[in-house]
């Protein structure tokens, strides 16, 4: 419970920072914007596009494998006990409750934030809105918060359940998530706050599920 409280407090602190210093988002995105070309110079970079799309691939593989493991355990034991499948259920729940419900289903459409490449400061037509500001600038697939980052956190959730090489894979999946975050900012698809708060919200979801399911306890 202490860890969850600390996570919430950190999130509130970061939220206060980005709300009162909204220019942080503009400054960080401007690093990848070409004034002469009036566009994000890495927006159509093929290498970055591959990195961004790999988030979907890796998440699909992790979720598919978790589902297959559940089926194999069931056919082997014929058991309906959640305890037998709780590690796999944890990973799938992180995706369903975090990525799909919270990020994609609630936060994105509620705040309606335009993406960096769409706003007037970066050659677009829409207005910039700060983090946590409810807006009508975006109708669907909005900027706040990052879905790609949430998929990276699903990889972290999976790595946390491994029995062999857990530390190594947690580090690797965390670095991959950070790479997804940086890529989306460089492409002009997300602000810094979009990726940071996606990671924060997903970590909170993971923390709650860890306390509820206790996947690492036999």
Q: Residue 218's pLDDT band (boundaries 50, 70, 90)?
A: low
Closest CA to 168 of 156, 177, 179: 156
Question: What is the model's pLDDT at position 208?
Answer: 97
Query: What's the rounded mean pLDDT across residues 17-35?
Result: 97
Which residues, 6+ apart, have CB-to-CB distance to 119 below 8 Å? Answer: 126, 127, 128, 137
Using pLDDT thresholds of 50, 70 and 90, give the confidence band for residue 165: confident
Q: Across residues 157-186, what is the average pLDDT?
A: 95
Q: What is the SS3 string spanning 45-79? A: CHHHHHHHHHHHHHHHHHHHHHHHHHHHHHHHHCC
Residues 6+ apart with CB under 8 A from 50: none
pLDDT band at 94 (very low <50, low <70, confident <90, very high): very high
Q: What is the pTM of this model?
A: 0.95
Q: Quick one: average pLDDT of 10-16?
A: 98
Q: What is the mean pLDDT of the chain?
A: 96
Please say if the pLDDT value at position 164 is more than 80.
yes
| pLDDT above 90 for 135 | yes
Rg (alpha carbons) of the chain, rounded to whole number: 19
- Binning pLDDT at 50, 70 and 90, where does residue 217 land? confident
Q: Quick check: 187 and 48 in contact, CB under 8 A? A: yes
Query: 60 pLDDT exceeds 90?
Result: yes
pLDDT bin (cut points 50, 70, 90) of residue 216 is: confident
In degrees, to the nearest 5, what angle opens at C-alpha 179 toward C-alphas 111 and 149? 30
């Amino acid at each position: 419970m202490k860890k969850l409280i600390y996570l919430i407090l950190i999130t509130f602190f970061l939220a206060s920072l980005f709300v009162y210093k909204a220019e942080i988002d503009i400054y960080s995105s401007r690093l990848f914007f070409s004034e002469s070309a009036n566009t994000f110079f890495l927006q159509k970079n093929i290498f970055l596009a591959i990195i961004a799309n790999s988030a979907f691939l890796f998440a699909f593989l992790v979720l598919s494998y978790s589902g297959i493991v559940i089926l194999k355990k069931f056919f082997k034991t014929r058991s309906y006990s959640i305890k037998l499948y709780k590690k796999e259920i944890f990973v799938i729940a992180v995706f369903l409750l975090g990525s799909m419900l919270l990020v994609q289903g609630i936060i994105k459409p509620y705040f309606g934030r335009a993406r960096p490449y769409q706003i007037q400061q970066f050659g677009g037509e829409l207005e910039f809105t700060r983090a946590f500001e409810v807006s009508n600038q975006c109708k669907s697939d909005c900027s706040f918060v990052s879905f790609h980052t949430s998929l990276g956190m699903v990889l972290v959730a999976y790595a946390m359940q491994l029995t062999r090489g857990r530390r190594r894979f947690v580090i690797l999946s965390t670095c991959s998530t950070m790479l997804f975050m940086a890529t989306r900012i460089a492409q002009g698809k997300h602000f810094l706050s979009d990726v940071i708060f996606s990671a924060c919200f997903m970590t909170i979801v993971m923390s709650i599920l860890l306390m509820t399911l206790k996947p690492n306890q036999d």
